[in-house]
Amino acid sequence: MNNMNKIMSLIAVVSVAVAGLIACETNPYTGRSQLLMMPISQELQLGAQAYAQVKNDPKVKLSQDPREVEPVKRVAQRVIEAAKRSKYAEMAKQFEWEVTVIKDDKTMNAFALPGGKIAVYTGIFPVAKNEAGLAAVMGHEVVHALARHGAERMSQNIVAQIGLEAANIALGASGGSPLLSQGAMAALGAGVQVGVLLPFSRAHESEADYIGLLLAAQAGYDPREAPRLWERMEQLSSGKSPSEFLSTHPSHGTRIQQLQQWMPEALALYPQNGLGLGSELPPIGGQ
């Protein structure tokens, strides 16, 4: 037990020392401090490369159907313009935005990569239901890119790995047997994953929900559709999600509750002549 305490102390010391050498940024909406080790130029390059790989994948079918493409691009453009007027305006204006619709009726997903590379799968249409629901989804994903959540996650992984390597060295120096070392390292690895990396991911998701809600409202879409979106998602994915403690995402119930708490702030940004729910999204899969 004494060795374990020493190891944990060493991990903490090494992590703090490394963190002290790295620039931190503060989220302009939540005030949360962010640890970032990757220069923005490299992050944008990686985003562009990943996006090109997705589009050039022979298994990926890009939709050319204007009924699917036009509403996605319309919502994306309004969300992007809202981002350029937001507290992320400087970052949003740096991005070279691009929007792609992927014809995959079974995938309920969308993503936005660094640099503003957005992809929406047609499988999200029945969940989003209308343009306001899609704005909630796209606002959420765009915030992940604007807030540099991907770079932050990579930085957290690097710091965690450095701490584990230090613990491994300490165990070897303490004369521990190989079995003891392997067992302790496995336990430490699980502890870091559950105690540090997953909670940071849940923080990112909640942050993206919050700021994405504000962007959707600023874009002119009724923010009250966001909790309805997650109610529909909960119905479709009932019994399929891991427990909140071991999940990288908040539970649907937590998300809905938080969105309701943030709603007054979002409604204050929603213009009186807003678009409401916008148009209904097209049916998929022969519906």
Largest CA distance in the chain: 71
Tell me the H-state helices in the chain.
2-20, 40-56, 66-83, 89-94, 125-128, 131-146, 149-173, 178-192, 198-218, 225-236, 252-269
Burial of residue 168, with CB atoms counted within 10 A of its CB: 0-12 exposed, 13-18 middle, 19 or more buried: middle
- The pair of structure tokens assigned to 10 is 């060493």
Nearest to 223 by CA among 139, 110, 125, 120: 139
Active site annotation includes 25:
no
What is the Rg, in whole angstroms, of the alpha carbon atoms belonging to the chain?
Answer: 21
Q: Which residues pair with 112 in a beta bridge?
A: 118
Place of tokens 């981002």: 83
Q: Which of 153, 124, 150 lies closest to 137 in space, CA to CA?
A: 124
**Which one from 43, 68, 131, 141 is the annotated catalytic residue?**
141
Token code pair at residue 101: 């619709």
Q: How many angstroms separate the CA atoms of 17 and 134, rounded?
A: 43
Phi and psi dihedrals of 209, rounded to 5?
-60, -45
Angle at which helix 198-218 crosses helix 149-173, to 10 degrees, equals: 170
Written as six digits, the tokens of 70 are 């036009």
Quick check: 172 and 165 in contact, CB under 8 A? no
Query: Which residues are the active-site residues?
Result: 141
